[in-house]
Structures are given as structure tokens and as C-alpha cells.
Amino acid sequence: MIKFFRHIRKTRISENKMGKYFKYAIGEIILVVIGILIALSINNWNEDKKERREERLALKSLHSEFLESRELFNKSQSHHKTIFDGMRFLLKILDEKRVNKSLVDSIYLSLNTSAWSSSTFEPSRGIVNSLINSGKQNIISNDKLKSHLIKWNDQVISFQNTERLVQEYKFSYLFPTISRLTQLPSKLKRSELNARYDINNVSNVEVDLNLLQSKMFYNYLNQCWNFSQTILVEGRSTSKGKKVKEVLDTIILLIEKELEK
């Protein structure tokens, strides 16, 4: 087509018909511009297709990662709840003034779980960190999902800091008092005997019921129980645990909706 216009241009120039030549020259320019626009459009389409392919691969990897993180979070919450329930039982019988020797076995088990070390939520963050650190978060077309992914690390760190504060308070105040109340089960026996060691075997245990009913122990226990509500999903409405679960569920749901498209 361009060769055709060039032939006409030469003919018009040789015939000294400049007016008609300019018309054909303008047509040639328009044809070139249209060709460039088509080429750019095809290139943009190819780039967009490539980005969507990369986005889908990233979404699949993120989906697996956040499903794993949710499973880890649920396990961590289950552990926290066991500790929380032990403290709640002790507070309940202290509030109701039902402490007596007939409850020693139950009291001992609750003291044991209350003294447990709290697990820290350590989610899988390799994929999301790689995406953000490489500056490729913009391949995620869903703005709401992208916003949640960018904020995820800060939310995890905030929750972990709260977990550590609860842990530090417990081992600074509550655990030393529990250690004076009774002798806790042997961790060595548990590791050596494995399944043969029954942690619920409370035969011949002794608990200082007077110290158990002291104001000091009650205050430490009450405060630790109160702190624990900040990390439990079923804690108070402002619980950071509740917020983390909501964000996890939202991210997974948004990813699944994107993958369905």
C-alpha cells in the first residue's frame, strides 16, 4: 500500500500536480499513523495478556500460602484457647468461692494448662513478601485484595507483639506463683515416655489451696486472662485475633473470586 502511494506521489510531482500530491501525502501519513496505532494496540494487548497470566500464577501461589497460614493460625488459636479455658475455670471457682479438696484434680490440670508456653503465630509469608519486595504487587488487579496484601505484614507483626506481651506477663507474674502453688508435670518424662506418659494423670498431686485463694494469685490470674482476650478470636470485639482471622478469610475469599473469573 505504501509503495502504491509512493508511485502516485512521483507521478503527481512529475506532472506538477502538487494539490493532488498533498492529498495523497496526507493519506500516506494517515496510513502510517494507523499502522503504528494498530501495532501499539497489539503490543499492549500482548503485555496485558502476559500480566494477567503472571497475576493468575501469583494468585494461585498466594491462595496456597494463605490457606496454610489460616491452618497455622487455627492451630495457634486452639492452643491459646486451651490455656484461656484453664484460667477461666480457676477464676470461676475463685469467684464462686468453690475451692475445696474435691476439686484438686481439676484445679491441678487447670494450673498446668495455664502455665503452658503460648505459641506464636508464624504465618507463611514467602510469596507475599516476594511480590511486595520486588514491586510486583501492581500485577494484582483487584485493588481491595492488593491493599490487604500490602497491609498483611504489619497486621501479623502487631498480633505477634501482642502475643509476646501476654507471654511475658504470664512468665513474669503468673508462672512464678503457679510454681509456688504446686509441682507441675515433668517435661522430661513427657519427652522420654512419649505416648505412655499421661499428662492428665493427677494422682498424688498437691496444691496449696490457701495460696490459690490469695489476692495476689487472683489478681495475676485475672490480668493474664484479660490480656489473653486480646489474642483470641472469640475474645472481646476489639481482639487482634479476631481481626487477623477476618483479614485471612477476606484475602482467601477475594483470591478465590479472582481465580473464578
| Annotated domain spans of the chain | 2-259
* CA distance linking residue 156 with residue 154, whole number of Å: 5
| pLDDT over 90 (residue 94) | yes
Average pLDDT over residues 27-52: 67
* CA distance linking residue 122 with residue 73, whole number of Å: 8
**Share in percent of the chain as helix, strand, coil (round to 5):** 80, 0, 20
| pLDDT over 50 (residue 197) | no
Q: Which of 50, 6, 49 is closest to 28 using CA atoms?
A: 6
As a whole-number percent, the residues of the chain with pLDDT over 70 amount to 75
Specify the higher pLDDT residue, 114 or 14.
114
The pLDDT tens digits of the residues spanning 43-86 come to: 665 566 667 788 899 999 999 999 999 999 999 999 999 999 99
pLDDT of residue 225: 92
Mean pLDDT estimate for the chain: 83
| pLDDT over 60 (residue 136) | yes
Q: Which of 121, 117, 216, 132 is closest to 171 using CA atoms?
A: 117
Predicted confidence band of residue 28 (pLDDT cuts 50, 70, 90): low
| pLDDT over 70 (residue 93) | yes
Specify the higher pLDDT residue, 105 or 7.
105
pLDDT of residue 184: 81
* 187 to 34, 79, 181, 194: CA distances (angstroms): 79, 17, 18, 10
Predicted confidence band of residue 23 (pLDDT cuts 50, 70, 90): low
> What is the phi-psi region of residue 124: left when phi exceeds 0, alpha when psi lies from -120 to 50, beta otherwise?
beta
pLDDT of residue 42: 64
| pLDDT over 70 (residue 233) | yes
Predicted confidence band of residue 19 (pLDDT cuts 50, 70, 90): low
Cell 506477663, residue?
169
Chain-centroid distance, C-alpha 110: 30
pLDDT of residue 258: 93
* CA distance linking residue 135 with residue 148, whole number of Å: 15
Residues 6+ away with beta carbon under 8 Å from 140: 55, 58, 59, 131, 146, 149
The pLDDT tens digits of the residues spanning 146-192 come to: 999 999 999 999 999 999 999 999 999 999 999 999 988 765 554 55
- β-strand partners of 207: 182
What's the pTM?
0.77
